[in-house]
């Protein structure tokens, strides 16, 4: 396992990630031994679990699957042309580096109303 314990000398804090902390809970593990060595070297430094900063304004498209996109395309004008383009992109994604983000970008460009997908999905689900 890559060492995921860090000493922040500027703020006088010992940081470890969540997985390391879980492993360090076992007194017989290498992570526990490593944590104790660091704590012995810096006894006044508190130990904290590092958290990932979440981007509050990040757009979320959870649930925007290929199946959803396909069904959505079929219910709108120009569905035949858009479905053909969508199928072409899916085929290309299987043999080239064209992946989900590119297909999602095309879908959101073609159907700009879906940029508010998170609000839309909550409205449909009733959450």
Report the pLDDT value the prediction gives residue 115, as an integer from 0 to 100: 79
Q: How many residues does the chain have?
A: 127
Sign of CA dihedral 105, 98, 63, 51: negative
Over residues 94-109, the mean pLDDT reads 83
For the chain, give the percent of residues with pLDDT over 70: 87
Q: How far apart are CA 17 and CA 51, in angstroms?
A: 7
Say if residue 17's pLDDT is above 90.
Answer: yes
CB atoms within 10 A of CB 117: 21
Say if residue 2's pLDDT is above 70.
Answer: no
Q: How far apart are CA 30 and CA 27, in angstroms?
A: 8
Say if residue 96's pLDDT is above 80.
Answer: no
Distance of CA 91 to CAs 96, 103, 110, Å? 9, 11, 18
- Quick: pLDDT tens for 109-127: 988 888 776 666 655 555 4
Say if residue 101's pLDDT is above 50.
Answer: yes
Over residues 77-96, the mean pLDDT reads 86
Helix (H, G, I), strand (E, B) or coil at 47: strand
Q: Which two tokens stand for residue 118?
A: 């998170």
* Nearby residues of 94 by Cβ (< 8 Å), 6 or more positions away: none
Report the pLDDT value the prediction gives residue 125, as an integer from 0 to 100: 52
pTM: 0.52
Helix (H, G, I), strand (E, B) or coil at 108: helix
- Quick: pLDDT tens for 56-77: 777 777 778 889 999 999 998 8
Report the pLDDT value the prediction gives residue 34, as an integer from 0 to 100: 94
* Nearby residues of 85 by Cβ (< 8 Å), 6 or more positions away: 106, 110
């Amino acid at each position: 396992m890559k060492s995921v314990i860090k000493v922040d000398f500027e703020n006088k804090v010992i940081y470890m990630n969540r997985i390391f902390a879980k492993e360090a809970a076992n007194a017989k593990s290498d992570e526990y031994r490593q944590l104790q060595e660091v704590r012995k070297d810096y006894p006044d430094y508190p130990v904290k679990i590092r958290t990932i900063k979440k981007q509050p304004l990040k757009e979320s498209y959870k649930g925007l699957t290929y199946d959803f996109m396909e069904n959505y395309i079929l219910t709108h004008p120009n569905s035949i042309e858009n479905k053909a383009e969508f199928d072409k992109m899916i085929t290309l994604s299987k043999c080239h580096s064209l992946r989900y983000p590119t297909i999602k970008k095309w879908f959101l460009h073609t159907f700009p109303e879906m940029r508010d997908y998170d609000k839309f999905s909550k409205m449909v689900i009733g959450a």
